[in-house]
Amino acid sequence: MESEVFGANSSAIIVAHELKGPLSLSRQLALSLDFEDSIDGAREIGHQIAATSERALRQVEDLTRIARLEDAMFEMEPVNPRIVCDEVVSELWRLFRFNRRELMIDYRNKRRLVVANRQLLHSVVYNFCLNAMNYGGEELPSLISIYEKYDKIRIDVRDYGPTVPTKIWREIKNGFVKKPVDIAMRPGSSGLGLYIAAKFANYMNGDFGLVRHRDGTSFYIDLPVSGQLSLV
Amino acid sequence: MIFVIEDDRGWEKYYRRILKDYKMEFFHDGVEAIAAMDEEVPELVILDILLTGPTGFAVLNEMRSYPELAEVPVIIVTSVSIKDAPSEQYGVTEVLDKGKMTPQELIGAVQGALK
């Protein structure tokens, strides 16, 4: 579908398009302030501009991190996945609300830490959530879960949107993610967010994957358990 | 009635604010919108191109295949560069770039299309 619109599978074009979306919306929202009479309405526009801009900034940061991955600048350390997920929720709740979506949490792992890079894990969860927000329905909330899976900790984000085509599911399962369009799995998607998540998961020796449900998809990352326990 | 086919809720809010004087119905994918056109022929369609589901071009193609929808004015509002798109072939009234348009241009395009 993307190639039909863009004419060529150029990752650069996709990245540009992905960034143009939130930047265009921020600009239009700023211009629309002239049309708002109430202070509360203007304040809401201000919040929406901030949330939309933060999303674009996060994408820029992630792209910068991808460029620096080969230099191995991201140290692995014991990380509490609950704290990371809480940070993502507090960063995204407003954007979810503007999109009439809900994000919930279900932490079944209470104390165990994972071996990861905190920044990269944050980006992985953030991109899973953004994907869930874009493709989930309005009826059911997206859900972040943390639980033990065999000898690892799984963090997954479940949405209730259109399920992923088999071809794309196989590509992710087999680790054939070479460029964003490989996982532009759902209509209107460039695949960039999940591409970023796959790259970061791979860097942290985590397993990136998805589970298809009849009514949606769960994207997950499995990470090795740290020998340390959280004191929190 | 204006049918707005746009899958981003952020943009939906924007349209509601800028075009508050018009009666609008919002659709988040083209399939829903085409189905609704069976019940009611819109006076104008505002259409995005990158949609969840069929693209805006596919929606346009489908619309133009029905005689009762063939003349409905369509304004494309998109962030995709579509200068080579077959706008004339499909009878597109106006193409607005999400990154460059102003609210006044949007209002002007809607007023022009509804004349």
Q: Which CATH number fits the domain that encloses residue A71?
A: 3.30.565.10
A23–B99 C-beta distance less than 8 A? yes
C-alpha closest to that of A101 among A89, A116, A84: A89
Between B86 and A26, whose confidence is greater?
A26
Query: Counting Cβ atoms within 10 Å, is residue A207 exposed (0-12), middle (13-18) or buried (19+)?
Result: middle
Q: Please, are residues A138 and A176 in contact by the beta-carbon 8 Å criterion? A: no
B79–A5 C-beta distance less than 8 A? no
Listed in order, strand segments (DSSP E) in A73-151 are 77-79, 103-107, 112-116, 142-149
Q: Which domain holds residue A147?
A: 2-229
| Tokens read off for A132 | 């869930």
State pLDDT tens for residues A33-75: 988 888 998 998 999 899 889 888 988 888 888 888 877 788 9
**Contacts across the A-B interface (CB distance below 8 Å):** 76
Sequence spans of domains, chain B: 2-114
A220 — phi, psi (to 5°)? Answer: -135, 160
Q: What is the pTM of this model?
A: 0.78
For residue A213, pLDDT beyond 80: yes
Q: What is the pLDDT of residue A70?
A: 79
Chain B nearest-CA distance from A22, in A, is: 9
Nearest CA in chain B to A18: B79
Average pLDDT across chain A, whole number: 83
* Nearest residue, CB atoms, A32 vs list B18, B57, B98: B18
For residue A182, pLDDT beyond 70: no
* Nearest residue, CB atoms, B55 vs list A4, A7, A52: A4
Chain A nearest-CA distance from B15, in A, is: 10
A100–B102 C-beta distance less than 8 A? no
- The verdict on ipTM greater than 0.95 is no
Chain A contacts of B84, Cβ < 8 Å?
A: 7
**B2-114 topology per CATH:** Rossmann fold (3.40.50)
Number of domains forming the structure of chain A: 1
Q: Which residues contact A181 (CB under 8 A, 6 or more apart)?
A: A2, A3, A9, A11, A14, A190, A191
Q: What amino acid is encoded at A15 in this protein?
A: V
pLDDT (mean) for B48-63: 86
Chain B nearest-CA distance from A87, in A, is: 22
Chain B, residues 18-37, CB within 8 A of chain A, namely 18, 20
3-class secondary-structure state, position A136: coil
C-alpha closest to that of A134 among B2, B99, B81, B11: B11
State pLDDT tens for residues B59-69: 999 999 999 99
Chain A contacts of B7, Cβ < 8 Å?
A: 188
State the CB neighbour count (10 A cutoff) for residue B60.
26
**To probe the interface with B, which of A2, A10, A24 has the most B CB atoms within 10 Å?**
A24
A31–B102 C-beta distance less than 8 A? yes
* Nearest residue, CB atoms, B51 vs list A99, A162, A187: A187
| Tokens read off for A145 | 């879960």
| Tokens read off for B112 | 């022009």
For residue A122, pLDDT beyond 90: yes
